[in-house]
Amino acid sequence: MHYEILKFSVKGDHSGSLVALEKGADFPFEINRVYYIWGTEKNIVRGRHAHKKLEQVVVCTAGSCDFILDNGAQKETIHLSSPSEGLHIKQNVWREFTNFSTDCVVMVLASEHYNETDYIRDYDEFLKGK
Ligand code: T46
């Protein structure tokens, strides 16, 4: 499978909820970068690329959006709407994301520093590498 859904352990009581993500048992790789995205209009399509080496865990910390993942043979749409789960996208998966709610905040935990040479932005090139 080219992705998996991680279910995080939630500490919660009357004061609210908390998720802690630590390297090791809780998390599939060492985190080298965190970024987050918000203020994207509903019908905008972001992404449209794959990564050679980078793995990421995507968490919709507020609101919701859809990730469309394509491994070259099949496509799946994953609706993210909970801060208690993460979408682990492995290497060499074409991703697009769209259908943003107005309050959507997407936090991404990445295995590598930002590196434009890791991106495959041409779909035909992506398919050739399969
Ligand atoms: C991914 C999806 C889920 C940086 O300067 N540093 C960074 O760490 C990132 C991620 C981006 N940027 C710059 C590069 C562009 O000038 O921010 C601008 C927007 O980046 P991009 O068009 O790549 O954004 P998305 O939303 O299409 O894709 C991002 C990640 O780049 C990508 O790895 O998987 O989110």
- Give the CATH number of the domain where residue 84 resides: 2.60.120.10
Tell me the CA–centroid distance for residue 85 and ligand 1, in Å: 21
pTM of the predicted protein model? 0.97
Looking at the domain assignment, is residue 52 inside a domain? yes
Alpha-carbon gap, residue 68 to 89, rounded angstroms:
11
Looking at the domain assignment, is residue 18 inside a domain? no
Concerning whether 49 is annotated as a catalytic residue, the answer is yes
Q: Quick one: tokens of 54?
A: 């980078």
Tell me the CA–centroid distance for residue 1 and ligand 1, in Å: 24
Which domain range does residue 77 map to? 3-10+28-128
Number of domains in the chain: 1
Category of 111 on φ-ψ map: left (φ > 0), alpha (ψ -120 to 50) or beta: alpha
Looking at the domain assignment, is residue 55 inside a domain? yes
What are 14-59's pLDDT values in tens digits?
Answer: 999 999 998 877 789 999 999 999 999 999 999 999 999 999 999 9
Set 2, 49, 51, 88: catalytic member:
49
Which 3 state secondary structure label does DSSP give 43?
coil
Pocket test for ligand 1, best of 51, 93, 108 (most atoms within 8 A of CB): 108
